[in-house]
Structure 1
Amino acid sequence: MKRIFVTFIVMLLSAKVFASVYVIHDATESSVRSLTFQLSALLPSSLQAKPVRSSAFDQNIAALQNDDILVTIGRDSYSQICSTVNAGIVIATFIGQEEYLNIQKDCLIPSSGVFSGAPLDKHFALLNAVWFDRKPLAVLYSDALFIDRQKMEKEAAEYGFELRFLKTDTDRLSVLKSVNFLLEESEVILSLVDTRLYQDGVAQDILKLLFHKQRIMIGSSFAFVRAGSLFAIHSDSRSKLTALVERIRAWNDSELLIEADYPDMLRVTFNPYLIRSHGVVLPSASYLKDKYGLCADTQC
């Protein structure tokens, strides 16, 4: 009997302790519950995701373990975790690359992420194929982003484009003044994922202004296309979750932290009204896939 007891203790001590997965958010409860349910369905049974509102999480930081996995929804939750938590790892989701990099450089714990939007070279390559006006492309951004101008200018030049950068305050009046200034020498605004800039209906105000001035925006999400941008290269929630699960599994199984990146599956959505009004000739779905690695929205 004593031997059985000792064997049981040894088994307990040698058993793998599974990490806890917390989904930290400030979003609506229903949407996060749905997202968490989908995430749990893709994880092994030993790993169940638990949604936690940011304010409630703050009260339980002391209970975190080093192997816990924190999944943040959006820029603000990621910023909060990076500045207050010193145990576990954090994987940021529904965040732009430039937002992530601006926060990640000062993060207190190991960090990875799944980016929204798409790599800039994808935008430049597709724009090069459908838009023949070589006036400079405008890049409007807030101080919430890390902007590597030299790198971005080099990427743009490979496709024959120049960039004009302008950092702006994020109140509505300042943003619209900045847009008017950029449009003096640009016809296209290339939008980045910038939660601080495009809040409280500012994106819609910009797109209305561009419509009246017969200028266009390249969007960073499906919502931008619905509101009036020419096209957007983006990923859906399923693709983001697949990339997120890959990172969670890698850390849980072997403590391998996969670098932050975009999902493998990217799709492109066009605004049919603007495509017609600007006389844009679209590549076929097969060409988009073979040439640019993009899934045409109607074919995904």
Structure 2
Amino acid sequence: MTLRVAIVGLGKIARDQHVPSIAAVDGVELTAVASRNASLPGVACFATLDEMLERADLFDAVALCTPPQVRHGQALAALSAGKHVLLEKPPGATVSEVAPLVALARRNGVVLFATWHSRFAPAVEPARTFLASTTVRSVRIEWKEDVRKWHPGQEWIWEPGGLGVFDPGINALSIMTAILPRPVFLTQSDLFFPANRAAPIAASLAFADGHGVPVAAEFDWRETSGEIWNIVVETDAGTLTVADGGKRMRVDGALRVDEPDREYAAIYRRFAGLAADGAVDVDLSPLQHVADAFLLGRRRVVDEFVES
């Protein structure tokens, strides 16, 4: 049976990833879009989710690609209408707002899928398997990019709930929580806020696990020389590197995985499988680490950020 999907929020991530990935996956079809300022040829287009829900016969599921600050109300409306719901990352603006959505999905017998797209990168599962059979000594995470390139004109990311540099940094945390054999907890957080913004442009974090293994993470939106999305794990079996956001894996420099990005296609295959089984898939651990970073965060004020 084909899963008919409606996208809410036709912004950059929806156009770059969701639309082509849906088209590439058998058994999934894009049938509707809700967006205030955009439309898509060949599908039914609506200005708002409420307007789209009046034509609920057109779709079975809703993919929410809107900013996290408004996602809870939209998910509530879609789940209440009996629709499966896919949440772009992060699943919400706060940790606590997601639990009632899980309960509602289960009551209504529909899917709630909190996606972490970086977990579907090709090197993630091989890295998890490798680390499960060795002893981790330390972890270094470096996640740096240019905010002007990846979030042009997106003012919501600088507002409370928009996460700032944690919007990309949470991708690293989603991989970290997937591959490490033991959970970690935050011990120190330095957050670097532009003087004119409400969200950080950089972060320096320290974690540890129950055995005292150190994990250091550096996130920065001021990197203009190119993307740096790497996780390096020192183990008793060598140095594991998950590079380029999860596309490549090396052990002591030897390339073990090198595959193209098919993260969102894998997400939609997973979504279709969940819909067939009526299951809920929500892991909040990456978002919890971000919340902890703000709880423990020492505020550092840096130069104002002006986009142009």
TM-score, length of structure 1 as denominator length: 0.43
Bigger CA radius of gyration: 1
Which has more strand, going by share of residues? 2
Structure with the largest fraction of helix: 1
> Normalising to structure 2: TM-score of the pair?
0.42
